[in-house]
Amino acid sequence: MAAIDALSKDSAPVALPGVGRTLIAAGLLSQKTAEDLVRKAAASRTNFIAELTGSGVVSAADLAHAVSAAFGAPLLDLSAIDPLRLPKDLLDIKICHDYRVVVLSKRSNRLIVATADPSDQEAAEKIKFSTQLGVDWVIAEYDKLSKLLETTGTSASEQLDNMVGSGGEFEFDEEPEALDPNATDNGNLAEVEDAPVVKFLHKMLIDAFNMRASDLHFEPYEHNYRVRFRVDGELREIASPPVAIKEKLASRIKVISRMDISEKRVPQDGKMKLKVGADRVIDFRVSTLPTLFGEKIVIRILDPSSARLGIEALGYEPEEKERLLQAIGRPYGMILVTGPTGSGKTVSLYTCLNLLNKPGVNIATAEDPSEINLPGVNQVNVNDRAGLTFAVALKSFLRQDPDIIMVGEIRDLETADISIKAAQTGHLVLSTLHTNDAPTTLTRMRNMGIAPFNIASSVILITAQRLARRLCPVCKQPHEVPRSALLDAGYTEEQLDGSWQPYRAVGCSACNNGYKGRVGIYQVMPVNEAMQEIILRDGSALEIAAQARRDGVRSLRESGLHKVRLGMTSLEEVLAVTNE
């Protein structure tokens, strides 16, 4: 990622391609950025448009529209094209791949050719020389053009080899016992060990880890197959391997994850480890889901180091951190963390457990499944099929002399009842619920059937949280936002005193469209006596929220707006992840 920054120090003049000059004229690209991309393309032996769209400076769609308008060429959506109906043998497939063009049709003595760069005179001359036909350009989005090229002209193995390149060798930490040569239901062993598929899977896993992705999505469709990574909370399409590999890739992943490769009708879950060095192993959690055109597979990267970052790294404000530390320092009671899937609840809980994990403390956790391995903590994976539910695990924990109990999620009344009884009888209980904010968590528990007295006497603190993308410190820029928009977002007149400046995302070689990493937005609400009185008289979430405001507890929106004032994230991001 530092390549562009390093190359930009070179002050030698750079000849810009026609597309680069067009984007500069349209105001979509600066002269300096264009020159940096040209240098990087030369250093990496790729083309300018690949670097341009790959860096995220200009999207493939914006590029296509700008080029179409500038060159007066028609714009075509290639996703509507059936690859099987494209003309064959009109142009050598190597030329198509070298110059990133697709022949759409032949009209009289001219070829209709899709390209993302109509200024490429070398490509036009090469096509004319090879076919003795004229060329009429049609503009297409570069990513869709690349995807279409990858589905034509080469075998699936060749395409995968091209995508993988000559990267290093990787190996899985341990080969699964499921590959029994005497078994009859293990599928095709040749498919599982197909070399290009194995290399491609390894490359995707390593690339995802290096990009700090949280998840990999392998998604089969009728005519295409795509791989997406979730980076900083956003899904990004990374590769479009040939659709022919979907069965082999699914088999390989399922075997390594110790799943049943003969079962394709029901979802399955598994785990795998990838060894990337003498002493470095990456853990992954794998989930399969049968879809119309094959099995979709999602692989989550499990990073045990995230639980050891410390509470300061999570983004709590000083008063929020103090409330949380006071709560986890109490000998008994219930602490709840709420928020949607992917909001960082598990990391928050394990950060607390890491602080509490002392030699003189007995900690037990029940999860579905356990994502982070924490030495010194007794971790149990629930297994509903085997009868090991959250409730059963909790009952067993209470016979194991625990000091602290962590329940992955309170899903039903039985689990809630046992958790509350544990919190009332001298245990510190940590768990999660899926609610929108902290005040609604208490009414949600009431709706589950828990008596108000039990809620008031057991719950000591609730934390609601979201994850917002953090602005890139390298390229973020001050942003003038109308005063009326700031007031509508939730700022008060007193806060708009001119002492701070909103920032906006820009995008550079060091980040992902102007953002790099994520920061937590929290609503940390202690349950004090005043709030207990509201709960005991069966008060509403609005009454609880009003009391929380009187106690100085920020709402999620207010917490996010505070992060905007600190320059950590943008107003647009906060409005997107919080609800008022």
Model pLDDT, residue 107: 87
Distance CA(504)–CA(477), nearest Å, equals 6
Model pLDDT, residue 468: 92
Distance CA(272)–CA(205), nearest Å, equals 11
Q: ∠163-157-52 over CA atoms, to 5°?
A: 20
Among residues 299, 304, 258, which one has the least CA distance to residue 280? 304
Model pLDDT, residue 13: 62
CA atoms within 13 A on the CB side of 400: 19
Model pLDDT, residue 9: 45
- 152, 93 contact by CB (below 8 A): yes
> What are phi and psi for residue 276, nearest 5 degrees?
-115, 10
Distance CA(224)–CA(84), nearest Å, equals 12
Among residues 23, 51, 26, which one has the least CA distance to residue 119? 23
The total of other beta-carbon atoms located within 10 Å of residue 314's CB is 20
Model pLDDT, residue 308: 61
Model pLDDT, residue 172: 55
First to last CA, the chain: 37
Among residues 577, 571, 530, which one has the least CA distance to residue 552? 530
The total of other beta-carbon atoms located within 10 Å of residue 232's CB is 20
CA atoms within 13 A on the CB side of 507: 14
CA 25 to chain centre: 35
Exposed / middle / buried, residue 168 (Cβ in 10 Å: 0-12, 13-18, 19+): exposed
pLDDT single digits (tens) 101-112: 898 888 888 999
Domain edges within the chain: 18-153, 194-302, 306-466+521-553
Show the low-confidence residues of the chain (pLDDT under 50).
1-10, 166-170, 174-191
Q: Pairing mode, if any, of strands 134-139 and 110-115?
A: parallel
Q: Please state the CATH superfamily assignment of the domain spanning residues 18-153 in this structure.
A: Type II secretion system, protein E, N-terminal domain (3.30.300.160)
Q: Which CATH class is domain 194-302?
A: alpha beta
Sign of CA dihedral 193, 196, 198, 201: negative
HEC assignment per residue over 59-111:
CHHHHHHHHHHHHCCCECCHHHCCHHHCCCCCCCHHHHHHHCCEEEEEECCEE
CATH tag for 306-466+521-553 (out of 3.40.50.2300, 3.40.50.720, 3.40.50.300, 3.30.300.280) = 3.40.50.300
